């Protein structure tokens, strides 16, 4: 029972970070109908940027986020303009999958060359401090990470619901053609949306770097988790991604705590298969539009 | 099959069969072995990804399943002739197909994007299993297979010939599919699945069939690979780069064509080995590979063969249009007749 509760606490706290990563992923899908296989690589890129700022200037990874998000936003816009926009429209969804996979490989290669392939971790002064509440151990970093993820998700929510740009994004997600008819420049929304997805990856990357050691190949571990989360939440639904992130991370942490860490990876796939069997459109997805 | 097609296919395979007897250097035959492996896998992927339009990103998982099946079957066994593992290949293909069957049934409830997601997640799950189920796979320490007792001078030859036979099977299957109702059904699925279902195409059946055959072939290649390498590790047996290479080859050569995947495999595998040789094990290799990948996707999204075919057709049409001396009126009359042609050309 103790292990179970400990697993739930850990899972919920980790779930916040996954929710942040997955929200960018699902946003990109919602706007462009592109499954971004480079999302994991962009998270790791964000982690490396935070790592470098920490090592070179002693900048705290949480404080580095404004810088890394801006850099990654630019990178995301560049990827969209250079590689995704030129694709022809008729087989775009197939090609875009492969193109984003190629972008993931490209980022992996660049990271391997720049930072070599040994594991790195960001060792802040508070990295090992923790509290004990009612006999359960809660590490400080995870709490901060959770709080920051909530903050970032809150900002994203405000951006999507309270600004002109956000309204344009939501309109494009709902119905791209009508949005275009109403004068929304879909190309610009797509570029900025991809940038926004990359920016959330950067914020999540800072946090990821604090929580786990990482290397350039770590994005392979991330991508299947992110994809399961996005499918469970319903492709294109940011709220769904948040809920699904917490659900999936919690169940995986519970399996790790009660069964074995080796099998926790399997929970992602099990969740995915269950979703497809029971509710293929995901928790908050809609039928008849997009992928399914 | 047209007579030219028979001649082309026959000539190609005669050349393939004769190649190892020309006394080629070991590294050349070794390269050819890998080209053949990828040509078979690309042809197999083409059945699902090319014809049916379901871009599977999980084929490397079945490559790994084949490799581990072969390793488990012959781990610690003593070989007498060295041909026993080849005899076991159909069984390994069956294992791959049987595992692929439920995966196909579940994942093909979804369309292209989610299908790709499910298959790639399956790939990572198999990779995790290969690392973690130590009692079966030996974990990261890998599994060994007996070394084939072939003479050193022509060690690669049996592998090569088996692979040629498998390529022939893969291409005959592709050709058979293209000429039969199954192939038509797959193309209909790709074009518009709902309409195809509406007019009575057995959509689910052909999709699952194509997927099972495709992953069965892939598993067989994995089996040959494991025997050829005699030692397998999870990170090489279940490698996302294998999936990507196979997909890329099919795209480069031309999806839903008979020769495209083979052409793509020849070009890319040779190029890849050169790149790996030039850039060594350094990580620049990955960057170069990704860039080649992006360039192909952006410049030749339809592949070499379809692009060439269209060029030739356009040129021929231009020649036909320019042939008569009287331009203008005559040509428009011609165009009118062509447009009516399907009704009553005779």
Q: List the domain boundaries for chain B.
A: 24-240
Residues in chain A: 292
- Burial of A102-124, coded b for 16+ CB within 10 Å and e otherwise, reads bbbbbbbbbbbeebeeeebebeb
- Say what the pLDDT of residue B224 is: 92
pLDDT confidence band for B312 (50 / 70 / 90): confident
- Nearest CB among A98, A112, A277 relative to B106 is that of A277
Q: Enumerate the residues of chain A whose CB falls inside 8 A of the CB of residue B244.
A: 98, 101-102, 105
Statement: residue B16 has pLDDT above 60:
yes
Residue B297 at interface with chain A, using a CB cutoff of 8 Å? yes
Residue B143 carries which DSSP code? E
Interface contact flag, A98 B110, Cβ < 8 Å: no
Report the C-alpha gap between B46 and B149 in whole angstroms: 35
Q: Which of A42-51, B142-151, B174-183, B326-335 has the highest mean pLDDT?
A: A42-51
- B228 within 8 A of B157, measured Cβ to Cβ: no
Kindly tell me the burial class for residue A193, based on how many C-beta atoms sit within 10 Å of its own C-beta (0-12, 13-18, 19 or more): buried
Interface contact flag, B57 A273, Cβ < 8 Å: no
- Nearest CB among A35, A94, A102 relative to B294 is that of A102
Query: B61 to each of A89, B110, B128, B138, how far by Cα in Å?
Result: 30, 19, 11, 17
Report the C-alpha gap between B230 and B236 in whole angstroms: 13
- Say what the pLDDT of residue B61 is: 92
Q: How far is A12 from chain B (nearest CA, A)?
A: 22
Interface contact flag, B113 A262, Cβ < 8 Å: no
B interface test, pick of A224, A233, A236, A244 with most B CB neighbours within 10 Å: A224
Q: Enumerate the residues of chain B whose CB falls inside 8 A of the CB of residue A110.
A: 287
Statement: residue B39 has pLDDT above 80:
yes
> pLDDT, tens digit, for every residue of A253-265?
888 877 777 777 7
Query: B1 to each of A247, B7, B67, B252, how far by Cα in Å?
Result: 55, 10, 35, 25
Statement: residue A108 has pLDDT above 70:
yes
- Say what the pLDDT of residue B105 is: 86
Interface contact flag, B106 A273, Cβ < 8 Å: yes
Report the C-alpha gap between A158 and A44 in whole angstroms: 26
Interface contact flag, A106 B120, Cβ < 8 Å: no
Query: B241 to each of A12, A253, A268, B38, B224, how far by Cα in Å?
Result: 33, 29, 22, 12, 18
pLDDT confidence band for A75 (50 / 70 / 90): very high
Q: Picking from A64-73, A269-278, A282-291, which range would have the lowest pLDDT averaged per residue?
A: A282-291
CATH code of the domain in which A157 resides: 1.10.3470
- Say what the pLDDT of residue B321 is: 76
Q: Considering chain A, what percentage of its residues have pLDDT values greater than 70?
A: 95
- Say what the pLDDT of residue A77 is: 92
Q: Residue B87: enclosing H or E segment and its boundaries?
A: helix B84-87
pLDDT confidence band for A292 (50 / 70 / 90): very low
- Compute the average pLDDT of residues B47-51: 88
Q: Considering chain A, what percentage of its residues have pLDDT values greater than 90?
A: 8
pLDDT confidence band for B342 (50 / 70 / 90): very low
Nearest-Å Rg of the Cα atoms of chain A is 18
Statement: residue B329 has pLDDT above 80:
no
Phi-psi region of B70 (alpha: psi -120 to 50; beta: other; left: phi over 0): alpha
Count of CB atoms situated within 10 Å of the CB of B198: 10
- Give chain A's mean pLDDT: 82
Statement: residue A288 has pLDDT above 50:
no
Count: domains in chain A: 1
Count of CB atoms situated within 10 Å of the CB of B48: 26
- Say what the pLDDT of residue B218 is: 94
- Say what the pLDDT of residue A90 is: 66
Statement: residue B334 has pLDDT above 70:
no
3-state secondary structure of A137: strand
- Nearest CB among A35, A99, A220 relative to B113 is that of A35
> pLDDT, tens digit, for every residue of B242-285?
888 898 889 888 888 888 899 999 988 888 887 777 776 667 77
Q: Enumerate the residues of chain B whose CB falls inside 8 A of the CB of residue A223.
A: 120, 124
Beta bridge partners of A120: A214
Q: How far is B281 from chain A (nearest CA, A)?
A: 12
Quick one: how far is CA A27 from the chain centroid? 10
Q: Enumerate the residues of chain B whose CB falls inside 8 A of the CB of residue A290.
A: 113
- Say what the pLDDT of residue A48 is: 92
Q: How far is B300 from chain A (nearest CA, A)?
A: 10
Q: Enumerate the residues of chain A whose CB falls inside 8 A of the CB of residue B123.
A: 224
pLDDT confidence band for B335 (50 / 70 / 90): very low
Q: Enumerate the residues of chain B whose CB falls inside 8 A of the CB of residue A87.
A: 297-298, 301
Report the C-alpha dihedral over residues A230, A234, A235, A240, rounded to 10 degrees. Answer: -70
> pLDDT, tens digit, for every residue of B56-77?
888 999 999 999 999 888 887 7
Phi-psi region of B144 (alpha: psi -120 to 50; beta: other; left: phi over 0): beta
Statement: residue A132 has pLDDT above 70:
yes
Q: How far is A132 from chain B (nearest CA, A)?
A: 32
B interface test, pick of A22, A85, A109 with most B CB neighbours within 10 Å: A109
For residue B231, which phi and psi values (nearest 5 degrees)? -150, 125
- Compute the average pLDDT of residues B40-57: 89
Interface contact flag, B121 A103, Cβ < 8 Å: no
- Give chain B's mean pLDDT: 82
Question: In sequence order, what are the residues at sequence separation of 6 or more whose Cβ sits closer than 8 angstroms to the Cβ of residue B3?
Answer: none
Report the C-alpha dihedral over residues A117, A119, A123, A127, rounded to 10 degrees. Answer: 150
- Say what the pLDDT of residue A212 is: 86
Q: Considering chain B, what percentage of its residues have pLDDT values greater than 90?
A: 19
- Nearest CB among A108, A266, A276 relative to B286 is that of A108
| Closest-approach residue (CA) in chain B for A103 | B290
Residue B140 at interface with chain A, using a CB cutoff of 8 Å? no
Closest C-alpha among A145, A252, A126 to residue A204: A145
Interface contact flag, A29 B113, Cβ < 8 Å: yes
- Nearest CB among B121, B291, B298 relative to A224 is that of B121
Question: In sequence order, what are the residues at sequence separation of 6 or more whose Cβ sits closer than 8 angstroms to the Cβ of residue B248?
Answer: A98, B264, B268, B293, B296
A interface test, pick of B50, B117, B235 with most A CB neighbours within 10 Å: B117
Nearest-Å Rg of the Cα atoms of chain B is 22
Residues 34-93 (B) with a CB less than 8 A from some CB of A = 53, 55, 57
> pLDDT, tens digit, for every residue of B194-206?
888 888 888 888 8
Statement: residue B176 has pLDDT above 90:
no
Q: Considering chain B, what percentage of its residues have pLDDT values greater than 70?
A: 91
- B228 within 8 A of B147, measured Cβ to Cβ: no
Interface contact flag, A87 B298, Cβ < 8 Å: yes
pLDDT confidence band for A43 (50 / 70 / 90): very high
Interface contact flag, A95 B112, Cβ < 8 Å: no
B interface test, pick of A94, A248, A252 with most B CB neighbours within 10 Å: A94
Interface contact flag, A269 B287, Cβ < 8 Å: no
Q: Enumerate the residues of chain A whose CB falls inside 8 A of the CB of residue B132.
A: 262-263, 265
- Compute the average pLDDT of residues B325-330: 49
Token duo for residue A168: 């344009």
| Closest-approach residue (CA) in chain B for A85 | B298
- Compute the average pLDDT of residues A74-93: 82
Question: In sequence order, what are the residues at sequence separation of 6 or more whose Cβ sits closer than 8 angstroms to the Cβ of residue B195?
Answer: B188
Question: In sequence order, what are the residues at sequence separation of 6 or more whose Cβ sits closer than 8 angstroms to the Cβ of residue A200?
Answer: A20, A21, A23, A24, A27, A69, A152, A156
Identify the sign of the CA torsion B331, B335, B336, B337: positive
A214 within a domain of the structure (yes/no):
yes
- Burial of A21-48, coded b for 16+ CB within 10 Å and e otherwise, reads bbbbbbbbbbbbbbbbbbbbbbbbbbbb
Token duo for residue B157: 């030859």
A85-88 long-range CB contacts below 8 Å, 24 or more apart?
A85/A187, A85/A190, A85/A191, A86/B298, A87/B297, A87/B298, A87/B301, A88/B301
- B223 within 8 A of B70, measured Cβ to Cβ: yes
- Say what the pLDDT of residue B167 is: 93
Report the C-alpha gap between B37 and B220 in whole angstroms: 10
Report the C-alpha gap between A86 and B264 in whole angstroms: 23
Beta bridge partners of A139: A130
- Say what the pLDDT of residue A89 is: 67
Q: Picking from A34-43, B21-30, B177-186, B316-325, which range would have the lowest pLDDT averaged per residue?
A: B316-325
- Nearest CB among A109, A231, A277 relative to B290 is that of A109
Interface contact flag, B290 A102, Cβ < 8 Å: yes
Residue A214 carries which DSSP code? B
pLDDT confidence band for A70 (50 / 70 / 90): very high
Count of CB atoms situated within 10 Å of the CB of B160: 21
Interface contact flag, B125 A269, Cβ < 8 Å: yes
Interface contact flag, A292 B120, Cβ < 8 Å: no
Report the C-alpha gap between A60 and B174 in whole angstroms: 57
Statement: residue A81 has pLDDT above 80:
yes
Interface contact flag, B122 A269, Cβ < 8 Å: yes
- Compute the average pLDDT of residues A38-65: 88
- A216 within 8 A of A112, measured Cβ to Cβ: yes
Residue B295 at interface with chain A, using a CB cutoff of 8 Å? no
Question: In sequence order, what are the residues at sequence separation of 6 or more whose Cβ sits closer than 8 angstroms to the Cβ of residue B2?
Answer: none
Residue B257 carries which DSSP code? -
Report the C-alpha gap between B115 and B107 in whole angstroms: 6
């Amino acid at each position: 029972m103790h292990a179970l509760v400990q697993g739930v606490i850990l899972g919920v706290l980790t779930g916040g970070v996954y929710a942040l990563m997955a929200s960018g992923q699902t946003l990109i899908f919602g706007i462009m109908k592109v499954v971004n296989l480079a999302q994991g690589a962009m998270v790791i890129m964000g982690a490396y940027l935070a790592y470098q700022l920490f090592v070179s200037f002693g900048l705290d990874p949480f404080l580095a986020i404004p810088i890394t998000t801006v850099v990654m936003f630019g990178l995301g816009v560049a990827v969209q303009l250079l590689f995704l926009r030129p694709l022809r429209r008729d087989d775009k969804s197939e090609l875009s999958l492969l193109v984003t996979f190629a972008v993931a490989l490209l980022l992996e290669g660049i990271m391997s060359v720049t930072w070599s392939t040994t594991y790195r971790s960001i060792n802040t002064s508070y990295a090992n401090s923790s509290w004990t509440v009612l006999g359960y151990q809660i590490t400080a970093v995870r709490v901060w990470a959770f709080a920051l993820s909530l903050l970032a998700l809150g900002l994203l929510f405000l951006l999507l619901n309270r600004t002109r740009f956000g309204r344009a994004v939501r309109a494009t997600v709902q119905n791209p053609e009508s949005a275009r008819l109403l004068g929304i420049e879909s190309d610009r929304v797509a570029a900025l949306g991809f940038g926004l997805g990359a920016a959330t990856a950067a914020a999540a990357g800072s946090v990821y770097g604090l929580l786990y050691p990482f290397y350039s190949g770590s994005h392979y571990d991330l991508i299947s988790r992110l994809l399961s989360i996005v499918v469970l939440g319903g492709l294109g639904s940011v709220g769904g991604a948040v809920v699904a992130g917490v659900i999936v991370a919690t169940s995986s942490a519970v399996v790790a705590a009660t069964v074995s860490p080796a099998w926790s990876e399997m929970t992602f796939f099990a969740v995915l298969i269950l979703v497809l069997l029971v509710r293929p459109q995901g928790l908050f997805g809609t039928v008849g539009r997009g992928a399914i | 099959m047209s007579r030219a097609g028979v001649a082309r296919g026959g000539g190609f395979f005669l050349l393939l069969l004769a190649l190892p007897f020309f006394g080629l250097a070991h590294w050349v035959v070794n390269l050819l072995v890998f080209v053949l492996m990828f040509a078979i896998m690309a042809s197999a992927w083409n059945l699902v990804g090319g014809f049916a339009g379901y871009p599977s990103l999980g084929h490397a998982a079945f490559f790994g399943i084949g490799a581990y099946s072969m390793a488990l079957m012959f781990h610690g066994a003593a070989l007498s002739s060295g041909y026993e593992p080849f005899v076991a290949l159909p069984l390994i293909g069956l294992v791959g197909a049987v595992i692929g069957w439920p995966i196909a049934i579940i994942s093909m409830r979804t369309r292209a994007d989610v299908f790709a997601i499910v298959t790639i997640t399956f790939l990572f799950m198999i990779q995790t299993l290969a690392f973690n189920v130590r009692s079966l796979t030996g974990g990261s320490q890998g599994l060994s297979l007996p070394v084939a007792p072939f003479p050193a001078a022509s060690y690669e030859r049996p592998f090569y010939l088996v692979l040629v036979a498998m390529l022939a099977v893969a291409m005959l299957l592709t050709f058979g599919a293209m000429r039969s109702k199954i192939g038509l059904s797959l193309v209909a699925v790709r074009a518009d699945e709902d309409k195809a279902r509406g007019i009575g195409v057995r959509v689910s059946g052909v999709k699952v069939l194509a997927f099972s055959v495709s992953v069965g072939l892939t598993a067989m290649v994995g089996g040959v690979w494991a025997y050829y390498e005699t030692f397998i590790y999870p990170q090489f047996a279940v490698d996302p780069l294998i999936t990507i290479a196979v997909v890329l080859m099919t795209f480069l050569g031309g999806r839903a064509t008979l020769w495209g995947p083979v052409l793509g495999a020849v070009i890319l595998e040779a190029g890849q080995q050169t790149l790996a040789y030039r850039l060594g094990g350094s990580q620049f290799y990955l960057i170069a590979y990704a860039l080649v990948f992006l360039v192909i996707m952006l410049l030749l999204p339809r592949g070499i063969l379809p692009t060439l075919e269209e060029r030739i057709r356009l040129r021929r049409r231009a020649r036909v249009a320019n042939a008569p001396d009287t331009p203008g009126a005559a040509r428009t009359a011609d165009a009118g007749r062509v447009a009516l042609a399907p009704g009553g050309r005779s």
